[in-house]
Structure 1
Amino acid sequence: MFAEPRDSGARRSDEPGGQLAGHPTHEDDVPTGAVVAGLDGSEKDRGVLAFATREAEILGSPLHLLIAQEVHAGLVGAWDSGFIPIGLEPELGQRHTRTLDGLVAQLAARHPALAVTASQPWGTPSQALVDASERARIVVVGSGRKGKLERILLGTTSLNTAMHAVCPVVVVGDDPGDVQRPIVVGVDGSAHSIRAATVAGDEASRRGVALVVVTTWWLEVVDGIVVTEEGTPEWQRVESGYRRMIEQVLAPIRQKHPELAVEVDLRNARAVGTLLERAAEAGLVVVGGRGHGGFAGMALGSVSHKVLQRCTIPVAIVRAQARTD
């Protein structure tokens, strides 16, 4: 997904010289072209690990497990604040080491053909994952939704990683998605959405599922008139323009994957609501990092941000530029 496979040089975790958790690490420990799973030792790791493992097998890529080790300055009195007394940091690091070692051993037993490595870089989780994205094929991270506002607030790690990673990022909640369901992609003609459509087409072809292309429009003006009445010449002109754009985006995808079943869903509607509606029957939603409505320099577009906040299946955020090797 997202790029052509590359020779990572990674060994299986049970082979001599294979990397195990607990060793000193730096960004070069991430195998080139790996699927990187950002873990934190919590329950949400299950969805992340399930998606990342499955994706690594589909792609034929190595799988790299990553848990960041944060440094906290000094002792903190309140345990429920989320800070850890500095004297207990080695104990926390050892616990993460045991977690990673256990996961590597389990994966080696269950997926003997899969190359699995792991690391514990120092720094914040989001910074560690952004650094890893320089070498990764994709980064998979948990949504981090919490409490009663779980459909409104994203975790800091998932949001910051999606905003700043070099490679595409997949944000996974409790549901790792069904690989037998269609892939939905939002297309608005922007460079980011064109790249997202290419990525979604490649993934749909690999999975052997249909590709659903969603394009929406809301307020359009033709000859000084706001288009509101369906079936009018002005309405038809607007839709014809969008259909031409969609076909231009799809032409190279159809040529590359002639077997791919493609559905085009063009509506006069809000983008977020339509994408979420189609996501109910999908296995993955793919959106560009920023659309036509974004400001220059904006790290994440409003549509992609809202879809991340509210979608319950995995969401892939794709930027306009593909990785270059």
Structure 2
Amino acid sequence: MPTDLKGMCIFLLTNSLLGRLSGRKLEDNRSGERVAVDSRRINPADFALWKSSKDGEPYWESPWGPGRPGWHIECSAMSSTYLGYMFDIHGGGMDLVFPHHENEIAQSCAACSKSSIAYSVHNGFVTVNEEKMSKSLKNFFTIREVLELYHPLALRFFLIGTHYRSPINYSTAHLDVASDRLYYIYQSLLDCEEALHQQARLSDSLPPETLQCIDKLHLDFESSMSDDLHTPVALASISEPLRIINELLHTKKILQELREKALKRAEITEDELLQKIEERTSARKNKQYERSDEIRKELSTIGIALMDSPDGTSWRPTVPQSVEEHANVT
């Protein structure tokens, strides 16, 4: 590895033009378009590790004169100091792919042959109401300002609704939609929790179609997240399960309302009914089958049907026996 600054620049030039991130080739670079050509460079495409200081600028003394670290070397120094030469994710905006991150890779590899990054993640640009975000346009905002009006999870939901490499347009309308959608998700979860709390255990196993829906959700979610963190597809995969959940909750609500109306018609409370069921269960255990049949018939007369299973006795509304007998006569 070259030890002098000029030699180092030549070495870095060779590495930086590999196009590891940008895919650019040597002939794609045209000197003098981004910065003025410096006659001290061996090759005009070389980038500086050390910037000579200008009048009035802060500087440090060095073997190459007063100056400061170059823009690219700052990032290599910070990442190697706090993360080491090998780490998982390096991120930034799309505009930093070339030349900044390309040069950063070159100089880090020059400093340590084992230098490597598992994933380079570059996000798309942010616009505000279809305009570029900038302080000059006065459409610049901070996350702290957004969170004064919107929940942090709503902001996160909005951001992951677009693939991280795609441009994203910020607007309060989009945040309103994200917030509303997030409320729907958490309301569904709360309804599920309340439904499960009311029913201490599930007497029946989940139906095959529900199990298939769960398996498909897992598969679709893992597949989309493994595809370059395709979060919009991952979010879309939960739509169908949420629809099924809310349909089931709606069905359960209707069933519960039907049960409540049946109890009201029978002029019996649910606690009183459960006491009757417990009394019948005790009679059956004591082989008092006559009393057990009396309780079943008594409840059937007022429109309550008992159903025995290995898991216990449950009940459902039914046609009162007197009404049924009358219907059969007529």
TM-score category, normalised to shorter length? under 0.3
Higher relative contact order (CA 8 A, sep 6+): 1
Between Structure 1 and Structure 2, the one with more helix by share is 2
Who wins on radius of gyration, i.e. which is larger? Answer: 2
